């Protein structure tokens, strides 16, 4: 029987994806950008973000020269904002230390901010032809099923077994179509639910298919109850402008512009006066909603306050007309809230 790798390569050449906007290039900048955007994000979601990003920052030098706020604004809605901050930090580091040249070895690439072993290997393989194994979510699923490896792939022992299997199946040549083929196979055929095994080039010796275990492999992440957090958010309005404040670099929505927050049960009008020195003329509670993160659910209670004309703006805050606020680097749920506002 033909080798596992040769079957993947032939299948990718005939049936894989060839029209993605970051394909048909060896440009490490575009490949790196796509791999970072694709971390924990679906291809269909990434495509418009990628196209807007490279239109504004066509190369590493342009990204390195940008202000972080502009980078975060283009990233707004894509989530996991540390990716954007790390992307920007990497561009600046490479511009300063390597004249904008991207390293070509997976070990060197993995030393850059926000790049782990699998992402580094994908960049090295697709941009530089390095014979590296990757292990993203799609590839883990393909290998777990084909090799019959049980256990949650996030477990260190299971992950080590998957890495060993991934490295043992590398081809001697054509690493680029093989790498892309493994990702394509997991995305298009060996899907999480209802995999199209009859279309799979390696189905003949797939352990999960032979044993009727495709539904149980790979083993799902152990279920864990998400804790709930409560917060009030202030929408402070004055003469058609909204006040935003910069969030700390660390933590959720790090470095983005957002709304002032206060603990549940705190009086918004009193808080507004004591913290900012503003007098509220009108208060309106807006419908509550829930935003889910990976590790918790955030219950948000928006409170809209119309203010008497302000005298000064505290440090760390800005006032923007609503149209300009929507162009700022806002978290997705805050953008939805702002989009619902109407100001005289």
CATH 1.10.340.30 domain residues, the chain: 4-211
Tokens of 97: 């230390």
Beta bridge partner(s), residue 75: none
For residue 342, the model assigns a pLDDT of 67
- Strand segments, DSSP code E, in the chain are 228-238, 241-246, 257-258, 261-262, 280-285, 289-292, 297-307, 317-321
CATH architecture of 4-211: Orthogonal Bundle (1.10)
Instruction: Give the pLDDT confidence score for residue 225 in this predicted structure.
Output: 87
Classify domain 228-339 at the CATH class level.
alpha beta
pLDDT of 237 reads 93
Q: What is the pLDDT of residue 344?
A: 47
Left, alpha or beta for 24 (phi > 0: left; psi -120 to 50: alpha)? Answer: left
CB burial string 251-264: b at 16+ within 10 A, e below: ebbebbbbbbebee
Query: Tell me, what's the pLDDT at 249?
Result: 85
297-307 vs 228-238, strand pairing mode: parallel
The residues with which 299 forms a beta bridge, in sequence order, are 230, 290
According to DSSP, residue 241 is labeled: E
* Residues catalogued as catalytic: 35
Q: pLDDT per position in the chain (344 positions), as tens? A: 469 999 999 999 999 999 999 999 999 999 999 999 999 899 999 999 999 999 999 999 999 999 999 999 999 889 899 999 999 999 999 999 999 999 999 999 999 999 999 999 999 999 999 999 999 999 999 999 999 999 999 999 999 999 999 999 999 999 999 999 999 999 999 999 999 999 999 999 999 999 999 999 999 998 888 899 999 999 999 998 999 999 998 888 989 999 999 999 999 999 999 999 999 999 999 999 999 988 899 999 999 999 998 877 777 899 999 989 998 999 999 999 998 886 54
Check if the beta carbon of residue 98 is closer than 8 Å to that of residue 2.
no
Q: How far apart are CA 232 and CA 117, in angstroms?
A: 39
Domain(s) of CATH 3.90.79.10: residues in the chain: 228-339
Predicted local confidence at residue 1, as pLDDT: 44
Burial 72-111 (b: 16+ CB within 10 A, else e): bbbbbebbbbbbbbbbbbbbbebbeeeeeebbeebeebbe
């Amino acid at each position: 029987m033909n080798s596992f790798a040769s079957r993947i390569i032939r299948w990718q050449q005939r049936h894989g994806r060839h029209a993605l906007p970051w394909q048909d290039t060896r440009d490490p900048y575009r490949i790196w950008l796509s791999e970072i955007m694709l971390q924990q994000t679906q291809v269909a979601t990434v495509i418009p973000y990628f196209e807007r990003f490279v239109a504004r920052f066509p190369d590493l030098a342009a990204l390195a020269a940008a202000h972080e706020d502009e980078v975060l604004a283009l990233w707004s809605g894509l989530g996991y904002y540390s990716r954007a901050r790390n992307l920007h930090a990497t561009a600046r580091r490479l511009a300063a230390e390597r004249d904008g040249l991207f390293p070509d070895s997976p070990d060197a690439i993995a030393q850059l901010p926000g790049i782990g072993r699998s992402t580094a290997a994908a960049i090295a393989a697709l941009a530089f032809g390095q014979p590296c194994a990757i292990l993203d979510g799609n590839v883990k699923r393909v290998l777990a099923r084909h090799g019959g490896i049980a256990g949650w792939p996030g477990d260190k022992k299971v992950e080590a077994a998957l890495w060993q299997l991934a490295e043992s199946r590398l081809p001697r040549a054509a690493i680029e179509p093989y790498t892309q083929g493994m990702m394509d196979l997991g995305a298009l055929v060996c899907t999480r639910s209802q995999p199209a095994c009859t279309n799979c080039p390696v189905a003949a010796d797939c352990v999960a298919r032979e044993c009727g275990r495709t539904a149980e492999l790979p083993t799902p992440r152990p279920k864990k109850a998400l804790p709930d957090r409560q917060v009030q958010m202030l929408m402070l309005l004055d003469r058609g402008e909204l006040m935003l404040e910069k969030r700390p670099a660390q933590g959720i929505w790090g470095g983005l512009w957002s709304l002032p927050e206060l603990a549940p049960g705190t009086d918004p009008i009193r808080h507004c006066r004591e913290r900012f020195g503003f007098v509220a003329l009108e208060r309106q509670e807006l419908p509550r909603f829930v935003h889910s993160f990976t590790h918790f659910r955030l219950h948000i209670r928006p409170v809209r306050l119309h203010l008497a004309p302000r005298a000064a703006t505290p440090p760390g805050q800005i006032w923007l007309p609503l149209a300009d606020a929507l162009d700022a680097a806002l978290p997705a749920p805050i953008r939805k809230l702002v989009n619902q506002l109407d100001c005289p």
